[in-house]
A = this chain, B = another copy of it.
């Protein structure tokens, strides 16, 4: 099950989905859980942190997804990084795909996994004792074997010889290939079937991650084939369903974050600037818990900054503002948490802020009630948006149509403009997050998404749930049409091939982070200027809500066999108010 070119029949789904024009709730009841073929029992149960990181378990999951019995997986860890024109480098951040099957969080390593012999080897640098003075030491074989369930740890100086032998590079019939590693060298899976069965396949994540020995000596034995296409989707499908050990780490990261959110609430009355909030959060994570890294930069936005989804300034005074939106999550042993709380600076909500907070809390609670194996995540999003539309109609910001009508037109994206959530794992926006909200992209999507995409090199999907990507009015229209088709019995409308991971499965950890925002430039330029949407918005009422800025509430939910387990325990609502007010 590689997710590559191979076509796989999707299981039938026994569904019970109610969709009517004037619904009060989208009811989604899928009786059989797709993807249960991925349930992976061969995991090492962790007992309170004493077990080893299950790199071998992860390697076996990857092998199962690759669906092959022979070949060698090779992944290089991150080498030492230096800024251009500087002798300093960024904080070390290990490559996540590497870590998943290597469990080593330091520089200049590599990992090999022999698919035929089930042999997992971590390759580490030998540290000259003389270097200790300058750089300290990094873990040696003994420490690595104690921490991770590797078969062997060896020194990188012996890696070339190992590869030369394992890949049979010294065979007599060596042929020259082009030094630039291109499609002729890295074949994709579909073309492999035509090749001789005697060939060894080397699986790499990207063509530029082939071993140095193949770069330095642009010669490959006839017995070697490099596959730079199959490993990434196989690893994605392995990573998206977490092992118990990973779940424990993500739970721990959430515990640290929840504790730090609590600390901020307790200290809030003594704070005068957004940066006090950031500093207190970081200090608590580091000093009390030893959590050195955050899973993402702290967002501490007060007033209108609460309505900027990726606000990183964190340097404005709190005086005269209603709310703070604090989106902050610590990392624990490379695993992320993602937690957002919104609370009033004064210790009590204004009437407007209370109404919006209550609306967002209802959005989240109604999703919680439906969050279980088999639920299509896009429909949970749609349900949250429906609740938002109901609430905003009740408040009076929306007018002139039913919640369903406003949803179908997409006007709700003026206030709830991002996806409901994403996977959490080694990345805060973990692999296959875009699949959660995926559907066949249209030309219009491609055009629109360009507006929001900076010149980033590696964002693999521009649609869907990763990094709080926009959900546009057009996307609502499509989702609604699809939901209608499904309710009429046409399940195929949302089961096309790339959707394998669209439904919640046990072991997934996904955020539920509804929000309602009042970002004036966005609302005015996209919606109030467009009669399609302007007709549904009461600008007089809206004007009184700009001061609320925005409200987002975000928890990390583990999908369990029969529902979910909320890993986030940070206080919200009245509990938060009590902490702020020292009660």
Shortest beta-carbon distance, A294 to chain B, in Å?
10
Q: Which residue of B lies closest to A461 (CB)?
A: B87
> Taking the nearest CB of chain B, how far is it from the CB of A86, in angstroms?
6
Complex partner residue of A451 from B97, B128, B417, B427, CB under 8 angstroms: B128
Known contacts A87-B429, A95-B84, A136-B311; A130/B451 CB under 8 A: yes
Chain B residues with CB under 8 Å of A195's CB are none
CB-contact partner of A522 in B132, B205, B307, under 8 A: B132
Q: Mark A493-525, 1 if CB is under 8 A from B, else 0.
A: 000000000000000000000000101011011
Given known A88-B427, A129-B522, contact A80–B286 (CB-CB < 8 A): no
Could you say which of B85, B96, B280, B521 contacts A130, with CB atoms under 8 Å apart? Answer: B521
Q: Report B-chain residues with C-beta under 8 Å of the C-beta of A468.
A: 134
A546 within 8 A of B: no
Contact among B97, B131, B307, B456 with A452 in the assembled complex (CB-CB below 8 Å): B131
Chain B CB within 8 A of A45 CB = no
Query: Known interface pairs A82-B459, A136-B310, A279-B283. Does A130 touch B290 (Cβ–Cβ under 8 Å)?
Result: no
A175 within 8 A of B: no
Knowing A90-B90, A519-B133, A521-B130, the reply to whether A279 touches B287 (Cβ < 8 A) is yes
Copies of this chain, complex-wide, total: 2
Residue total for A at the interface (Cβ-Cβ under 8 A): 75
Please name all residues of chain B whose beta carbon is closer than 8 Å to the beta carbon of A466 when the two chains form the complex.
87
In the complex, what distance in Å separates the CA atom of A130 from the CA atom of B527? 10
- 1/0 per residue A310-346: CB within 8 Å of B? 1111110000000000000000000000000000000
Question: A117 interface residue, CB < 8 Å from B?
Answer: no
Q: Mark A141-178, 1 if CB is under 8 A from B, else 0.
A: 00000000000000000000000000000000000000
Q: Report yes or no: B296 in contact with A275, Cβ–Cβ below 8 A.
A: no
Partner of A133, one of B80, B91, B133, B308: B308
Q: CA–CA, A557 to B162, complex, Å?
A: 52
With A and B bound together, what is the CA distance between A459 and B80 in angstroms?
12
A307 neighbours in B (Cβ, 8 Å): 133
CB <8 Å contact, B455 and A308: no
Most buried by B among A93, A132, A457, A526: A132
Kindly state the separation between the CA atoms of A86 and B470 in the bound complex, as whole angstroms: 18
- Chain B residue at smallest Cβ distance from A336: B88
Q: Mark A69-99, 1 if CB is under 8 A from B, else 0.
A: 0000000000110111111111101011100
Sorted nearest first, the 7 A-B pairs with minimum C-beta distance are A279-B287, A129-B521, A133-B522, A90-B90, A283-B283, A279-B286, A133-B519
List 17 A–B pairs whose Cβ atoms lie within 8 Å, in order of A's numbering: A84-B458, A86-B458, A87-B467, A90-B90, A90-B93, A128-B525, A129-B521, A130-B452, A130-B521, A130-B526, A132-B521, A132-B522, A133-B417, A133-B521, A136-B310, A136-B313, A273-B290
